Structure 1
């Protein structure tokens, strides 16, 4: 058995996708999504990436409704459905067949009450389940009152269905996560971008007509995000991919080794406080100078503005027109206000 502990990004995407799916039972759908994420991690650790495919990867990453598919994964050519439940009696052979008699294999995932941990209990062939149900009905007679048969094979036996691959460990190697502020490496005039999506390492992404050799990271620039109908800074980083997809905000794809964390991550519109002050007031970034400047971040305090929700692109000219004093600080002196 294997324990999967979902990251915060996974938990929030699993829930938001269930909401956008307009599921009849959002908690059940959310747990099902977490079960698929758990099995995806198992596949990434132990199975050759060329020999498995997750049908719902893009839908959950972007929090979009799933396109209809009779199964969740295809592994070694087998159609696999993932069943997730807190009630282990749901994994009795007859109950599994009642829910899903048409796939090749069923993977069983148990979850804790607060969904902070899921255990991959095992898997079983559907044909074997049918045989067990038939045998129980014909020959077994009455079951013990306190013992119910659960059909399951150890998770690591799934590897035996394919070639001998030992320990694959094909997890992403890049250090970035949604919401990170990054710049293009080696570009002195690079603009700050926001990481929106970290694509699976096996995803074949084409850039300018050429296949990318390496892991891909999709970013958006704050100037584009500011054009959207909502304040993107108030959106959880895990859901930025959903927001950009809904609002058709253009994303740019980079090889992860061509990006680095921005030493000066602040852009116009950001809410900040001065960490060197004992009781700091909230300020808004008005302009960002080159990193080589002594104090490259200019801010005004929210009390100086009649409309703190003004479009970020208009802040600098508005302050100049109205004679509003700006204050300049080094990035190391500033922290995010929220």
Structure 2
């Protein structure tokens, strides 16, 4: 068995996708999504990447409704469906067959009440489950009341369904996560960008007519994000991909090795506080000085209304509103109350 602990991005996406899917029971759909994410992680670490496919990968990453598919994964040519439940009785052969008898393989995932940990119990062929149900129906005696059979095979037995290949661990090497502020390496005048999507290692991406050799990272620039209808700074980083997809915000793809964490991550419009203050007031970045490691801010209480980031500097000058300069080491990001 294998244990999977979803992080905040996994949990946010699993929930938001269930909402966008208009699921009849959002709680059930959310935990089902987490089960798929858990199994995808297993596949990534233990199965050759070119021999499996997650049908709902893009829908989950961008929190979009899923395209209709009778199964969740295709592995070694087999159609695989993932069943997730807190109630282990849901994994009895009869219960599984009554819900889904059309796929080749069913994977069983159990979760804790708090949804902070999932256990991949095992898998079984649908034909074996059907045979088990038929045998039980023909059995003339009474089944033991305290022992119920779960027809499962160990997770690592999935490897035996495929060809004899070397162990392939496809855990991403990319160090970035959605929401990170990055810039292009070896570019002294690089603009700060926001990570929106971290693409799986096996995703084939073409740049300038050539296939990207490495893991892709999609970013958006703050100036484009500022043109959207909402305040993207208040959006959960896990949902930035969904927001950009909904609003058709242009994304740019880079090889992860060509990016680095931004030395000065601040951009105009960011909400910050002065770290040394005991009860700091929220300020808004007005200007970022090139190469100096300093930013100019205006305290939010000095503004009588919300001002577009691109107009902040002009507004402060026209209204004679004082701005203050700080080193980037003196401030930190904050959120609006």
- Shorter-normalised TM range: over 0.9
| Alpha-carbon distance, 1:209 to partner | 1.8
8 A Cα contact 1:183 1:191, kept in partner: yes
Give unmatched runs, 5+ long, in structure 1: none
| Alpha-carbon distance, 1:164 to partner | 3.1
Task: Indicate whether 1:301 and 2:294 are aligned.
Answer: no
Give unmatched runs, 5+ long, in structure 2: none
Task: Indicate whether 1:323 and 2:320 are aligned.
Answer: yes
* CA spacing shift, 1:166–1:184, aligned 2, 3 Å: same
| Alpha-carbon distance, 1:139 to partner | 3.2
Q: Distance in 1 between matches of 2:94 and 2:288?
A: 64
Coordinate RMSD, CA, aligned: 1.1
Q: Distance in 2 between matches of 1:21 and 1:112?
A: 23
| Alpha-carbon distance, 1:277 to partner | 3.1
User: Per-residue CA shift, 1:65-88, capped at 9, x if unaligned?
Assistant: 000000000000000000001111
Task: Indicate whether 1:80 and 2:98 are aligned.
Answer: no
| Alpha-carbon distance, 1:337 to partner | 2.2
| Alpha-carbon distance, 1:7 to partner | 1.1
Q: Distance in 1 between matches of 2:330 and 2:111?
A: 43
Give the match for residue 148 of structure 2.
Answer: 148
| Alpha-carbon distance, 1:168 to partner | 2.1
Q: Distance in 2 between matches of 1:283 and 1:194?
A: 20
Worse-superposed segment, 73-82 or 282-291? 282-291
- How high is the TM-score relative to the length of structure 2? 0.97
8 A Cα contact 2:48 2:167, kept in partner: no
8 A Cα contact 2:296 2:325, kept in partner: yes
| Alpha-carbon distance, 1:226 to partner | 0.5
For residue 38 of structure 2, give the secondary structure of its aligned residue in structure 1.
Answer: helix
| Alpha-carbon distance, 1:280 to partner | 2.4
For residue 139 of structure 2, give the secondary structure of its aligned residue in structure 1.
Answer: helix
8 A Cα contact 1:192 1:265, kept in partner: yes
Task: Indicate whether 1:237 and 2:234 are aligned.
Answer: no
Q: Distance in 2 between matches of 1:305 and 1:154?
A: 62
8 A Cα contact 1:46 1:166, kept in partner: no
Alignment of 1:1-338 (within 5 A): 1-139=1-139, 141-165=141-165, 167-291=167-291, 293=292, 295-307=293-305, 309-338=306-335
Q: Distance in 1 between matches of 2:46 and 2:126?
A: 22
Q: Distance in 2 between matches of 1:197 and 1:322?
A: 39
Q: Distance in 2 between matches of 1:32 and 1:337?
A: 33
8 A Cα contact 1:46 1:165, kept in partner: no
